[in-house]
Structure 1
C-alpha cells in the first residue's frame, strides 16, 4: 500500500521522467520540428497501453502510442528487457505515416511494469510526393512506408538492417535516422529513470502510483462532469477539399452528458473521402483527447483517466473512422483537428451553462493548421526538407472574461512552439520577408479572439525548390465564436510569380512596400514550383470571439486600434466604435451602435439587455426559466424565444450575413446566419451551416 506522501513524491518523479524524455529527444534530434517547435510527444504507459503521463506537446498522440503498445501485446511475442519497437501505421495506431512512434518495455527483473513511448513528425517517410503529404493519393499505399510494429532494438542491440530499410524509404534518410536514434536515447533515459525508481521504492509501489494517477484523474473528471448540467449538444464543423475536388465534409457531433458520463456520437459525420483528409479510429480518439485536456482536464493530471468516463460512438466508414485502404496522409491537420474543434465547442457550451465553470468556457482556438513543406537541393548540393510549424501561430479563442491570446495556437498543443525564423533559414534556402500578426483577424466579440499570424517567404541561393501547400479552413471559418461572438478569419494562401524578375527585384519592391501581383490559391494547391523571386504568403485563422461585438468596451476597441489589432474601419463596421483623429467619439459610438442594432431588426430596438435578468444562464444573453412548470428561453431583454424546450432560434430575428468584413471566405455550399434578440437587437449566435440546410440546434438542457 502506498501512503499519500510517497504517492506525491513518485507522481512528481514520473512527471519529471516524462519531461526528461522531452529534453533527451530535443537534445539529440537535429530537426527544428523537434528541437525548437512542438510536433512530438513523450509519455509513460501501463503494461496494457493506458497512458499514465504525457508531455505538454501534441496531446493527440497519447492514445495512438497506447494503440501501438496494445498491438505489440496482441500480435508480437512477449517483449524482453532492452527491446524497442517502431511503428507509424495509421491502421494500427499512428495518426498518419509521418508520425513515427517508438516504444519500449520497462522491466523490473523479469516482470513488465511499464512502457515508455515517444513520437515525432518526420518530414518525409516516402510516398508519391515529397513530405509524404499526397493530395492525389487514393490509397494509403501511396502515402509512404507503413510500419505496423517492428522490433528495431532487440534486447539492447540495434537491428541495423531494419533501420537501413526504414530510412531508405525516405527522401531525407539522414534526418530520419538521426531522429530514430533520438527516440532510442529518449527510451533509454526513461528506462534508466524508471528502474532507479523501482530500486528505491519498489516496482509494485511505482506501478500502483501510475494506476492511482489514472484513477484520480478519472474520479475528478467524473466529479467535474457531474457538476455540469445534463443535456444534449449538437455541433457540426466542416472541412473543404479532399485533395481531389473541393467537396465539403462534415464532422458532426451529438454530445450527451448524463450524470458523470459523457457520450460523443459522431454517427452523423460524412462518409470517408476518396482523398487524404480521412482519419482512422486512432485519430478520432486522439482528436477527442486533444479537446478533453483544456475543457475537462484543467488542473488535473493528463492521462487515460480523462477518457474513461467518455463513450465514443462512431460507425466504421466515416471521414473520422476511415477503413483500410483509405488515404489518411493529412488526417492530423484535417479531420482529427476538426474532431477537436467540435468536441471543444460542445464541452465549452456545457461549461458556459455552469455557474461554477462559465469563466473557463472558450471559443474555438486556431481551428485549422495550414501546411507548408519545402524540399529540394540546397546550395551545397544536398537534399533538404522543411516541415514548417509556423501555422501553429493561429489565434486562440476568447473567454467570457478575457480576450484570446494573439498567435496563441491550438488547444491540442498545450505548450505550442514554433521554430525561430533563423533556424528555418539555416536548414533551408528560405528567406522570410516577414512573420507577424495580422490585423482584423481576431474573431470579434465582447471578448475578442486572438489575432492570427502570417508569413511571407521566398527562396535564395538555389535555382528552385518545391513547396507543398495545403489547408482546410480557407473557405470554412472553423474558429467559431460563442454566444454572438464571430468566427476568426479564414486561412488565406497567395502566390506571386517573379515573371522574369530577380530575387533582388523582389526584395527591393518589398522594402519599398510595393504589393506584387498575387494569385489566390485554393485550399489544396498541392505541389508548387518555387524560384528565387517568387513569393508565398499565408495567414492563419484567428480565434473565435465571445459575445456580441457591440457590447465590447469602446475603450478596449480604441486600444486595439492603437495597437494595430483592429483597423479603424473594422472598429466602426463591426464593433460600432467611432474614432475621430484617433480619439474615441462617445456620442458617435452610441449612435453607430444603435444604428447597427436597428439594421439588424429592421426597426429601432424596443428594450435593452439586463445582465442581471433572472433564470439559469445560457451564456451572457439567454436565460432558461420555468413558468408554471413550463420551460422558456428568454433573452436578457425579456423576449420569449421558446416555450416548452430550449430550442430558441425559431424565436430570434435571423438573417444570412456577409462575413467578408471579418476576413472570412465561405465555401460555395456554406452560409452564415446571425440570430438576434427581437427586442434589443443583441447578437445571440453566428452559425456556419450548409446553404441548403438550417443551422444545427446546439443546446438542449435537462434542468
Structure 2
C-alpha cells in the first residue's frame, strides 16, 4: 500500500477469543450492513434505489477485501473493492472523515451510472477498514439521456467519469466537487439526493463500527472481520472439493453494438482442480466499437455475480468466496475493454453475459455432483431490456425514468423443481420492482398491462419460470424513449441437460394505434406520445431435462394456469388433450411423444423403444452427468458415458457428443422466432430412443464443442 493514511494499522494482539463474543460481533457486522441499506433507502428519492434495490452496501478490510454485503446486486461487491485498492496504490492522502467518490469503469465501476463511495474507518487513530456503497444513477451526462448512448464510439461521449475524488474532506463537504458532478447530470436533484444518501450510509457505518470497536476492542473487531473472510474461504473450498475436477466450456452471445448487428461471443473455459476455479475468457470477441463492452472491473463483477449465489448457499457472502477464483483474459476483449472503448451499457450487456456463462459452467459441475445435483439450475433471465424515458412532466419540469421492471425475467429450472415466474436474474438474489401505481405516480407513465408472458419459460422436465411483459405509453404530449437490449435474437437463458432456452426478448412499438412493429435489439431513441404503445416481453428461465420427460399432469396444470399454451403443449411437450380440452389423452400423448423422438432420429416411430422413465436414484457405480447421461466404469474398468437407456456414447472420457445423434433443431416460436442469422441450433439425442440430451446454440459456421471434459478419477472422489 502506498496511500498515505493518517492512521496506524491495527494489531490483532489481545483480540478476544470467546466464541460467544465473536459470534455477537459477526452478527452486529451483518446488522450494520443492513442498517447501511436502510439509511440509503430512507434518504434516496430514486426508485432505482428505493423500489428496485439496484445498489450495494458493504464493509471492507483495510486491504479492500469485502467482509459483508447485502443481498442486492452480487456483481457490485468487487468494484467498490477496486476503488479502495486504487486509493491504496496511488498515494492518496486519507484521514478520518474522508468520503471518496468515483464511477470510472477503468478504475473500478461497472459503468459510469454506477456511482460508488467509500470511507476509511479510522477509530482512535487506527485504520479498522472501509465502508462502501454503490448505486445506479439514472443520468450522469453524455450524449444521450440516462448515459446510455447506443451511437457512442468513445467512452468520453458517455458521461462524466470520476476516478477517485474526495467529496468529503475530514468531515467537510466539498460543495465545489458536488456542483461539478451535478452540473453534468440532467437530473441534478435526484443525483444530489442520492449522493447525500451515500454520505449518510457511510456515516452510519462509521458510527456503528466505532461503537463496536470501543465496546469490544479494535483488535477483536478486526480479528472477527478477518476470520469471517477466512471461514468463508474454508467453506467454499470444501464445497469445491465435493465437485468433480475437469474442464467445462460454455459460451453465450450478445448481438448489436449500437452501430451494426454484429454478434459478440463471451467464451468461458472453466478449469476446476481440487478446491480452485480458473475462468479463462480468452476466446471471447475483441472489444466492440459500440457501448456493449465492459472493463476488467466488469468482468470481475460478472464472475462474482454468478459464483457468489451459485456456490454460496449456507456460506457467508464475502471476499473469502472469491479467493479460490482466478480469472484469465487479455486486454482488449469485449469483456476486458480498454480506453477509449465505450462501456455505457456494460451491466446489461457484457457483464450480464459473463454471469450467464459462469452460471452455466458452475451448474454443470453441480449437476455432476451427487450431493448437489438437486441444486443445479439452468440460466436465469439471461438479459435485461433497458427502457429509459425522459422529457418534461405536466409541470414542465424535466423528468427521467430508468425502468427496473425488466428484472421480472424468469428464473432457471432446478434439478428438483421448476423455476419461479418473474423471479429475476441470478445476480439479484432479492429482486424487486416498483408497483405500477408508484411508477405512474412519480412519472408521466401509463401501463396498459403488466403480466406474465405465456410460453416464455424454457421447456424441460423441469420448466423455466415465465418472464413478464408490459405495455406502456405516456401521459404527457410527448416524451423520449431510449430502448436497447441484447437477447432479442439470442436465447441467452440457456437450458441444461436437454432443457430448452427461455423465450427471447420481444420489443414492439405501434404508433397512433397502427400495426405493431418489431424493434429488434437496439432501436435507440424515439419519440413516444399518448397515442403510441411500447410493448416488451422479457426472457424466461432455461429449462432442465427433455421436455418429453415432463409429467403430463404438470403440463396439464401449466395449461390450466395459462403458463403453457395448448399448441406448445403438443409441439414441445408432446401432450395431447381430449376433445373437451380439460384432460390428457394418454394414448395420443404416448404416440405424439414417440413421434417427436423418432423425428429427432429421422426414423419411423415404430422402430424405437420408449425411454425408461427418469429416475432420481444414483447411478450404479458411477455418476449422473444429467437426467439421461451417466458416467460409470464398464466391465474392463474403463470409464464411459452412456445414456440411461444403455447407449454408450464415449469411452475413456466424458466427451460424449461424438457418440450421440446430432440433428438440426428448431426452437419454439418464443425462443427462436427471431434468431440471429449467424446462429444455429443443434440438438443431441440418445441414438437408441431419441431422448433429448442437450441443446446447443452456436455459430452457424462452427461445429458445437464438447462442454464437459471431467477427470473420471475425481468422479469417484479419489483425487479430491
Select the residue among 477, 490, 497 that pairs with 1:476: 490
Task: Tell me the residue number matched to 1:629.
Answer: 637
State the distance in 1 between where 2:108 and 2:701 align. Answer: 37
Residues 501 and 671 in structure 2, CA contact (< 8 A), matched pair in contact too: no
Partner of 1:342: 357
1:523 corresponds to which residue?
521
Provide the rounded CA distance (Å) in 1 between the counterparts of 2:434 and 2:108.
28
Q: Who is 1:657 aligned against? A: 665
Q: Which residue of 1 aligns with 2:440?
A: 425
Query: Which TM-score applies when normalising by structure 1?
Result: 0.96
Q: Does 1:584 align with 2:593?
A: no
Please name the residue that 2:5 is paired with.
none
Which deviates further from its counterpart, 608-617 or 377-386?
608-617
- Greater CA drift, 360-369 or 651-660: 651-660
Partner of 2:479: 465
- Work out the CA distance in 2 between the residues paired with 1:569 and 1:32: 39
Tell me, yes or no, if the aligned pair for 1:363 and 1:545 is still in contact at 8 Å. yes
Residues 454/119 of structure 1: CA separation in 2 closer, same or farther (3 Å cut): same
Q: Shift of the alpha carbon at 1:695? A: 1.3
Q: What is the CA distance between 1:645 and its match in structure 2?
A: 2.1
What does residue 321 of structure 2 align with? 306
Q: 2 CA distance for matches of 1:293 and 1:405?
A: 20
Partner of residue 602, structure 2: 602
Counterpart among 563, 566, 583 of residue 565 in structure 1? 563
Cα distance between partner residues in 2 of 1:653 and 1:609: 18
Partners of 1:114 and 1:301 in 2: CA distance? 18
Q: Which moved more, 1:606-615 or 1:22-31?
A: 606-615
Task: Work out whether residues 641 and 648 of structure 1, in 8 Å CA contact, stay in contact via their aligned partners in 2.
Answer: yes
Instruction: Provide the secondary structure at the position in 2 that maps to 1:579.
Output: coil
Deviations 1:499-536 (A, max 9, x none): xxxxxxx6xxxxxxxxx510101100110111111110
Matches within 5 A, 1:389-408: 389-408=404-423
More displaced 10-residue stretch of structure 1: 420-429 or 62-71 = 420-429
Corresponding position of 1:501:
none
Kindly state the Cα deviation for residue 3 of structure 1 after the two structures are TM-superposed.
2.6
Q: In the aligned structure 2, how far is the partner of 1:663 from the partner of 1:149?
A: 43
Q: Deviation per CA, 1:202-236, whole angstroms, max 9, x where unpaired?
A: 11111111111100000111111111111100111
- Structure 1 unaligned spans of 5+: 499-505, 507-515
- Pairing partner for 1:157 from 172, 175, 190: 172
Alignment correspondent of 1:437: 452
Cα deviation 1:17-60 (Å, max 9, x = unaligned) = 00011111000000111111121111110111110001111111
Determine the C-alpha separation between the residues in 2 that align with 1:266 and 1:629.
35
Matches of 2:343 and 2:612 in 1, distance apart? 48
User: 2:131 aligns to what SS in structure 1?
Assistant: strand
Counting only pairs closer than 5 Å after superposition, residues 275-290 of structure 1 correspond to structure 2 as 275-290=290-305
CA distance in structure 2 between the aligned counterparts of 1:655 and 1:38, rounded to whole angstroms: 44
In the aligned structure 1, how far is the partner of 2:54 from the partner of 2:551? 38
Partner residue of 1:641? 649
2:701 to 649, 671, 692: 692
CA drift at 1:688: 0.5
Is the contact between residue 491 and residue 671 of structure 2 (CA under 8 Å) also seen in structure 1? no
**Residues 625 and 633, structure 1, Cα contact 8 Å, conserved in 2:** yes
Equivalences for 1:35-184 in 2 at 5 Å?
A: 35-184=50-199
Q: Given the alignment of the two structures, is residue 617 of structure 1 paired with residue 624 of structure 2, yes or no?
A: yes
Q: CA deviation at 1:631?
A: 2.4
- Corresponding residue of 1:543: 541
Cα deviations by residue, 1:355-404 (Å, 9 ceiling, x for unpaired):
00101110000000000000011110100000001000000000111000
- 1:464-485, CA deviations, whole angstroms, 9 ceiling, x for partnerless residues? 1111100001000010001110
Whole-Å separation in 1 of the counterparts to 2:141 and 2:384: 22
**What SS does structure 1 have at the residue aligned with 2:417?**
coil
Tell whether the 8 Å contact from 1:609 to 1:635 is kept in structure 2 after alignment: no
Aligned 8 A contact 1:494 1:521 in 2? yes
- The separation in 2 between residues aligned to 1:439 and 1:134, in whole angstroms, is 32
Cα distance in structure 2, aligned partners of 1:351 and 1:78:
46
Within 2, Cα distance between the matches of 1:567 and 1:23? 43
Deviations 1:287-314 (A, max 9, x none): 0111011221111110101110111111
Written as runs of structure 1 = structure 2, the 5 A alignment for 1:670-681 is 670-681=679-690
Q: Distance in 1 between matches of 2:354 and 2:611?
A: 38
On the 8 A contact 2:113/2:137 being kept in 1, the answer is yes
Any idea what SS the aligned residue of 1:536 has? strand
CA RMSD, aligned part only? Answer: 1.1
Q: What's the offset of the Cα at 1:646?
A: 1.5
> Residue 587 of structure 1: CA displacement?
1.7
Residue 273 (structure 2) aligned to one of 254, 258, 266: 258
- Matched-pair contact (CA < 8 Å) for 1:577–1:589: yes
1:137-166 deviation per Cα after TM superposition (whole angstroms, max 9, x unaligned): 111100000000000001111111110110
| TM-score normalised over the length of structure 2 | 0.94
Q: How many Å separate the matches in 2 of 1:181 and 1:323?
A: 31
The Cα of 1:76 is off from its aligned counterpart by 4.2
Deviations 1:550-580 (A, max 9, x none): 1111001000100000011111111111112
Task: Answer whether contact 1:570 1:661 (CA < 8 A) is retained.
Answer: no
Alignment partners' CA distance in 2, 1:292 and 1:94: 19
Cα displacement string for residues 318-362 of structure 1 (whole angstroms, at most 9, x for unaligned residues): 111111111000000000001100111101000100000101110
User: Are 2:250 and 2:360, in contact at CA under 8 Å, matched by a contact in 1?
Assistant: yes
Alpha-carbon offset, residue 120 of structure 1: 0.9
The CA distance in 2 between the partners of 1:61 and 1:51, in whole Å, is 11
Match of 1:63, SS state, is helix
Counterpart-to-counterpart distance in 1, 2:667 and 2:627? 23
Question: Which of 370, 379, 388 does residue 373 from structure 1 map onto?
Answer: 388
Runs of 4+ in 1 over 6 A off after TM superposition: none
Residue 23 of structure 2 is matched in structure 1 by: 8
Partner of 2:8: none
Distance in 2 separating the partners of 1:656 and 1:527: 37
> Do the aligned residues in 2 keep the contact of 1:483 with 1:684 (CA within 8 Å)?
yes
> How far apart are 1:607 and its partner, in Å?
5.4
Q: Deviations over 1:584-639 (max 9, x none)?
A: 22222112111111211222323523646633211110111223232211111011
